Amino acid sequence: MTASNKPDRSVIITGGNAGLGYECARAIASSGKEYRVIIACRDAAKADDAVKKLKSETGNDGIFRMELDLASLASVRNFAKDFLKSGRPPLRALVCNAGLQVVNGTAYTSDGFEMTFGVNHLGHFLLAHLLLKQMPGPGRIIFVSSGTHDPEKVTGMPDPVYVNARALASPARDSSGESDALIGRRRYSTSKLCNIYCAYEFADRIKKETEKNIAVNAFDPGLMPGTGLARQAGPVAFFIWKYIMPVMTLLPINANTPGKSGRALAALATDALYDDATGKYFEGTKEIKSSKLSYSKENALDLWDTSVELVKLAEDETVLSV
Ligand SMILES: NC(=O)c1ccc[n+]([C@@H]2O[C@H](COP(=O)([O-])OP(=O)(O)OC[C@H]3O[C@@H](n4cnc5c(N)ncnc54)[C@H](OP(=O)(O)O)[C@@H]3O)[C@@H](O)[C@H]2O)c1
């Protein structure tokens, strides 16, 4: 805290109006007033409600919302410009949390990319570049991934399939006869693999190419039944997800309440305990190995180079080489 008793650093949480992002915002706002907490959300009304609730639950007035739709690269660019103009305290942490699963057919972002890849990966990829420029350091960037990226974990989700990033951005028409749900879930687990490639690549490049003290890690919150993630499942499946599956958080498996995972995510973003961690994968607060495939440098480079092209990243939008 500064001598004037004002917050002296900012933290941005994408999708902070609901689920894990909300709980992360709540944990950071409850921990003290040195952080200005900004939830970056696509729906202004939902975001206003969340800010109001967060303020009343934490007694912290330093919580704000800013508009961000990760399904629009123009919105991502506007967000970064608005943050620069806002005069908020320096950015200390960016939590790339927002995410979705599309299980009822293929949807596209406003730039024409497959929605799951576009929102879960591409939007955050651009956002991280633009905000990294604005982070003086020390700082942290966290990509929220998922155990579903790892075929060796029993998650009930299809294994990710990474052929190349272009195919993920613009998938060919499917002729396999697989259901929309299966295809959509596979796109989701693959996008969560992309989050890890992205975290490892940012961490490496920041270390090699800059003097900035900025750590980048990937995070698995574990299964958190009850959040909005399964909102596209049919009414029966969503009822089970929301009201019955939360009992799984009582079992000794990697299933948690959003509150517990939100606190773990907040710790990774702000706790001095993690000062030395970069380029790592955390299951909750525990550092573990991610899947074998997630260490493929070939895939990571393909994803990086293609993403640079797809978002049309300009040299003056990043401090890293493109
Ligand atoms: N739930 C789980 O079991 C689980 C397990 C592992 C990992 N995760 C990961 O945890 C993260 C949070 O998920 P959750 O479970 O908390 O789900 P959630 O309750 O549905 O929250 C997702 C958040 O992302 C936002 N979002 C979606 N599309 C967006 C867009 N185009 N632009 C900006 N924000 C957007 C949503 O905004 P709206 O409210 O406006 O839709 C919402 O705030 C995701 O990255 C997910 O992959 C979840």
Closest CA to 186 of 281, 120, 253: 120
Q: In what order do the strands lie in the sheet with 63-67?
A: 63-67, 35-41, 9-14, 91-96, 139-144, 214-220, 281-283, 286-288
pLDDT in the model for residue 175: 84
- Among protein residues, the one with the nearest Cα to ligand 1's atom 7 is 146
Secondary structure (DSSP) of 25-56: HHHHHHT-SSEEEEEEES-HHHHHHHHHHHHH
Name the phi and psi angles at 184, rounded to 5: -65, -40
Whether residue 226 is predicted with pLDDT greater than 80 in this model: the reply is yes
Compute the distance from residue 5 Cα to the ligand 1 centre, in Å: 33
- Ligand 1 pocket mutation pick from 143, 192, 224 by most atoms within 8 angstroms of CB: 224
Name the phi and psi angles at 165, rounded to 5: -70, -30
Question: Is the distance from CB of 79 to CB of 127 less than 8 angstroms?
Answer: yes
pLDDT in the model for residue 2: 45
Question: Is the distance from CB of 141 to CB of 96 less than 8 angstroms?
Answer: yes
Whether residue 3 is predicted with pLDDT greater than 60 in this model: the reply is no
Average pLDDT over every residue of 110-125: 98
Q: Count Cβ atoms within 10 A of the Cβ of residue 89 and give its class: 0-12 exposed, 13-18 middle, 19 or more buried.
A: middle
17 lines ligand 1 (CB under 6 A): yes
Question: Is the distance from CB of 11 to CB of 270 less than 8 angstroms?
Answer: yes
Compute the distance from residue 2 Cα to the ligand 1 centre, in Å: 33
Average pLDDT over every residue of 217-245: 95
pLDDT tier, 1 (very low <50, low <70, confident <90, very high otherwise): very low
Whether residue 135 is predicted with pLDDT greater than 50 in this model: the reply is yes
pLDDT tier, 176 (very low <50, low <70, confident <90, very high otherwise): confident
Average pLDDT over every residue of 193-208: 98
Please give the structure tokens belonging to residue 107. 């949807």
Question: Is the distance from CB of 115 to CB of 190 less than 8 angstroms?
Answer: no
pLDDT tier, 5 (very low <50, low <70, confident <90, very high otherwise): low
Whether residue 32 is predicted with pLDDT greater than 90 in this model: the reply is no
Which residue in 188, 197, 200, 281 is the catalytic one?
Answer: 188
For 9-317, give the CATH class: alpha beta
pLDDT tier, 315 (very low <50, low <70, confident <90, very high otherwise): very high
130 lines ligand 1 (CB under 6 A): no
70 lines ligand 1 (CB under 6 A): yes
Average pLDDT over every residue of 175-180: 91
Average pLDDT over every residue of 197-211: 98
**Beta pairing partners, 281:** 218, 288
- Residue 7: count of CB within 10 angstroms of its CB: 20
DSSP 154: -
Average pLDDT over every residue of 65-81: 98
pLDDT in the model for residue 286: 98
150 lines ligand 1 (CB under 6 A): no
Coil, helix or strand for 218? strand
187 lines ligand 1 (CB under 6 A): no
Q: What percent of the chain has pLDDT over 90?
A: 94
46 lines ligand 1 (CB under 6 A): yes
Question: Is the distance from CB of 145 to CB of 220 less than 8 angstroms?
Answer: yes
**Beta pairing partners, 144:** 219
Compute the distance from residue 211 Cα to the ligand 1 centre, in Å: 32
pLDDT tier, 321 (very low <50, low <70, confident <90, very high otherwise): confident
Secondary structure (DSSP) of 182-216: HHHHHHHHHHHHHHHHHHHHHHHHHHHH----EEE
Secondary structure (DSSP) of 242-289: IIIGGGGGGSSSSB--HHHHHHHHHHHHH-GGGTT--S-EEETTEEE-
Whether residue 6 is predicted with pLDDT greater than 80 in this model: the reply is no
- Among protein residues, the one with the nearest Cα to ligand 1's atom 42 is 15
Query: Is 188 marked active-site?
Result: yes
Residue ranges of the domains in the chain? Answer: 9-317
pLDDT tier, 123 (very low <50, low <70, confident <90, very high otherwise): very high
- Among protein residues, the one with the nearest Cα to ligand 1's atom 44 is 99
Query: What is the position in ligand 1's atom list of the atom closest to the CA of 20?
Result: 16
pLDDT in the model for residue 33: 83
Q: Report if pTM > 0.95.
A: yes
Average pLDDT over every residue of 302-322: 96
pLDDT in the model for residue 173: 87
224 lines ligand 1 (CB under 6 A): yes
Compute the distance from residue 81 Cα to the ligand 1 centre, in Å: 23
Compute the distance from residue 16 Cα to the ligand 1 centre, in Å: 9
Please give the structure tokens belonging to residue 21. 């992002």
Whether residue 322 is predicted with pLDDT greater than 90 in this model: the reply is no
